[in-house]
Amino acid sequence: MTSNGTPRGFLEAERQAALDRLAALERDHAGVVDAVESTNADDEHDPEGATIAFEREHLTALLDQTRDQLGRVDAALRRVDEGTYGVCEHCGEPIAPARLEARPTAALCIACASQSNR
């Protein structure tokens, strides 16, 4: 973990990066929507319609992913504040440092995460 070496510092940097990405994606999405509205494009009959629709849906998916990441970061920051960061929400055991290094927003230890994915 970087950004002052603490979970909070790293998570705050991750949060800012997610907010910056969200703002950029929202601008891109608004640009696509504006471009569609300013033309007489009919997605069904316009040869570019499928491309525009794909781009809009792709940006929507990226927006959803970024909002989800922001939610996970905010939840991890709450756990830091509550003193439960690094403790599995399911079994109460410590989450391995290597897991937190790879997934700083992890709320479950590897064993519990494996069980919940079955």
Say yes or no: 71 and 115 in one domain.
no
How much is the pTM?
Answer: 0.79
- How many CA atoms lie within 13 Å of 66's alpha carbon, on the beta-carbon side? 18
Say yes or no: 80 and 103 in one domain.
no
What residues make up the domain containing 22? 1-85
The confidence score (pLDDT) of residue 47 equals 59
Mark out the alpha helices in 5-48 (DSSP H runs).
Answer: 7-37
CA–CA separation, 67 and 80 (whole Å) = 20
Say yes or no: 46 and 28 in one domain.
yes
* pLDDT band, very low/low/confident/very high, at 102 (cuts 50, 70, 90): very high
pLDDT at 39 over 60: yes
Mean pLDDT of 87-94: 97
8 contacts 80 by C-beta, under 8 angstroms: yes
The structural domain count of the chain equals: 2
Say yes or no: 19 and 74 in one domain.
yes
pLDDT at 93 over 90: yes
Say yes or no: 19 and 70 in one domain.
yes
User: In the chain, how many H helices and how many E strands?
Assistant: 4, 0
pLDDT at 22 over 70: yes
The confidence score (pLDDT) of residue 6 equals 87
Say yes or no: 100 and 45 in one domain.
no
* pLDDT band, very low/low/confident/very high, at 13 (cuts 50, 70, 90): very high
pLDDT at 109 over 70: yes
The confidence score (pLDDT) of residue 2 equals 44
Q: Which residues contact 25 (CB under 8 A, 6 or more apart)?
A: 59, 62, 63, 66
